[in-house]
Structure 1
């Protein structure tokens, strides 16, 4: 799950976190013309859900900031699934390139 962190700030409520600017693909993201901030990673999460895991749609909410990605909700299983998917992207330069190209092809714009 690294670099993702899943915490339980109160009983039954979970937050999935990623400190922006700390991943192995930050330089690749910048090279693709994006800023590896929390808003960019929200876009990655949205793309992953819409293209690979539509069953996750609506099972959590997003609340990113410039320095951090955050998804939260009560569905720990859904957040764990998203964490695994995002962790794979955050450590694979080829995968992040693929997602940015997919976004371009589909007219998706990252809010970074």
Structure 2
């Protein structure tokens, strides 16, 4: 799941975290006209849920900041699945390009 990490800050509560600006694809994100911040990565998560894993919808919440992406909730399995999908994106420039292009074609606006 690298570069994401899943933590349990309190018993039964989980947070999926990504330090923004630390991925292998930051330059690609910038080349696409976006900032590789926590808000951009929330958009990535939303697009992944909508297009690849609709069963995850509503199973966790988002709380990004400029320097960090965060999704949280009680459903560890859902957060693990999201983390796996996001890790595949955070390490694959072509996947980022395809995801951003498809999101744009669907009218999705990244809030970065």
Q: Give the TM-score, by structure 1 length.
A: 1.00
**Cα deviation 1:29-59 (Å, max 9, x = unaligned):** 0000000000000000000000000000000
Helix, strand or coil: the match of 1:107?
coil
**Cα deviation 1:82-107 (Å, max 9, x = unaligned):** 00000000000000000000111000
CA offset at residue 24 of structure 1?
0.1
Aligned residues between the structures:
112
Q: Following superposition, which runs of at least 4 residues in structure 1 exceed 6 angstroms of deviation?
A: none
**Structure 1 gaps, min length 5:** none
Aligned match of 2:101: 101
Matches of 2:100 and 2:67, distance apart in 1: 20
Matches within 5 A, 1:13-28: 13-28=13-28
Aligned match of 1:63: 63
Matches of 1:104 and 1:15, distance apart in 2: 28
Structure 2 residue 72 is the aligned partner of structure 1 residue 72:
yes
Structure 2 residue 46 is the aligned partner of structure 1 residue 46:
yes
Helix, strand or coil: the match of 1:100?
helix
Matches of 1:73 and 1:5, distance apart in 2: 14
Matches of 2:70 and 2:20, distance apart in 1: 10
